[in-house]
Amino acid sequence: MNPELAPSLIHFFGMMLLIASFWILASPQIGTCIRAYATHSFLLALITAVIAVTNHIEHLLIPALLTLVLKTIVIPHVFFRIIRRLGIRKEVESYINIPFSLLLAVLLVFVSFYVTGDGKILKPVAFSEFIPLAISTVFFGMLMMTTRKKAINQVLGLLLIENGLFLMAVTMTFGMPLLVEMGIFFDVLVAVMIMGLFVFKIRDAFESIDADDMTVLKG
């Protein structure tokens, strides 16, 4: 790959990644949220692969491939099977409306760039401009977990946080040791399976997957 083209390509994918993050928050339907997460993960895999090829870091190709297979194909497929089997309504239910969610997301992006703008204490090996992008992704995931009512959307928020942390690791230090990365991917896959099981149990117990229904468990 042309060394002069690679940085521009990575920055383009990074811009598209941020747009995909907003897409997840702006999606009014659960199925669209899942597709947006798959797109987000696909772009993350592309960024990882370009960094691996450009900087001759072969071990990063394995996390890129795992991201492509697990987060772009397997995990979204699991989510679609869950919503089909549960007969979940398509609409996303939230404590706040979508325009206000997007406003908060924009503010979180500004906060991410502000707190990392002149912070030279973090001197990354690779792309310093991706630090606020990664932090924004983590913030978006936390926003989803705290504002969405459905357990499925809250799980997607948790996975979005994991994507942000993975992006930070790849762009700051060219990734973690390979065994650690593979272990994390395995943990994510197992966590999704377990959370899917919990969603079924919540539905069986409360005839709904609305997290608000679990407040009746309070003493």
Q: Is 193 within 8 Å of 186 (Cβ atoms)? A: no
CA distance 208 to 216: 13
Query: Is the pLDDT score of 18 beyond 70?
Result: yes
pLDDT: is 21 or 202 the higher one? Answer: 21
Per-residue pLDDT, 43: 93
Query: Is the pLDDT score of 77 beyond 50?
Result: yes
Query: Is the pLDDT score of 7 beyond 50?
Result: yes
Q: Tens digit of pLDDT for each residue in 78-87?
A: 888 877 776 6
How distant, in Å, are the alpha carbons of 107, 108, 115, 139, 158 from that of 103?
Answer: 6, 9, 19, 13, 20
Three-class secondary structure assignment of the chain: CCCCHHHHHHHHHHHHHHHHHHHHHHCCEHHHHHHHHHHHHHHHHHHHHHHHHHCCCHHHHHHHHHHHHHHHHHHHHHHHHHHHHHCCCCECCECCCHHHHHHHHHHHHHHHHHHHHCCCCCCCCCCCCHHHHHHHHHHHHHHHHHHECEHHHHHHHHHHHHHHHHHHHHHHHCCCCHHHHHHHHHHHHHHHHHHHHHHHHHHHHHCCCEHHHHHHHCC
Query: How much of the chain exceeds pLDDT 70, in percent?
Result: 68
Angle at the Cα of 36 from the Cα atoms of 34 and 39, rounded to 5 degrees: 115
Joined tokens for residue 40? 């987000």
CA distance 55 to 3: 9
Write the burial class of residue 153 (CB in 10 Å: 0-12 exposed, 13-18 middle, 19+ buried).
buried
Q: Is 159 within 8 Å of 192 (Cβ atoms)? A: yes
Of 46-55, 87-96, 118-127, 187-196, the one with minimum mean pLDDT is 118-127
Query: Is the pLDDT score of 219 beyond 70?
Result: no
Mean pLDDT value of segment 191-204? 58
CA distance 180 to 143: 27
pLDDT: is 31 or 140 the higher one? Answer: 140
Q: Is 160 within 8 Å of 24 (Cβ atoms)? A: yes
pTM over 0.85: no
Mean pLDDT value of segment 86-115? 81
Average pLDDT across the chain, whole number: 76
Closest CA relative to residue 32, chosen from 95, 102, 68, 83: 83
Per-residue pLDDT, 206: 46
Per-residue pLDDT, 189: 61
Residue with token string 């997301």? 105
Query: How much of the chain exceeds pLDDT 90, in percent?
Result: 14
Per-residue pLDDT, 167: 86
Mean pLDDT value of segment 45-49? 89
Per-residue pLDDT, 17: 92
Q: Tens digit of pLDDT for each residue in 198-208?
A: 565 555 544 55
Mean pLDDT value of segment 185-213? 56
pLDDT: is 196 or 93 the higher one? Answer: 93
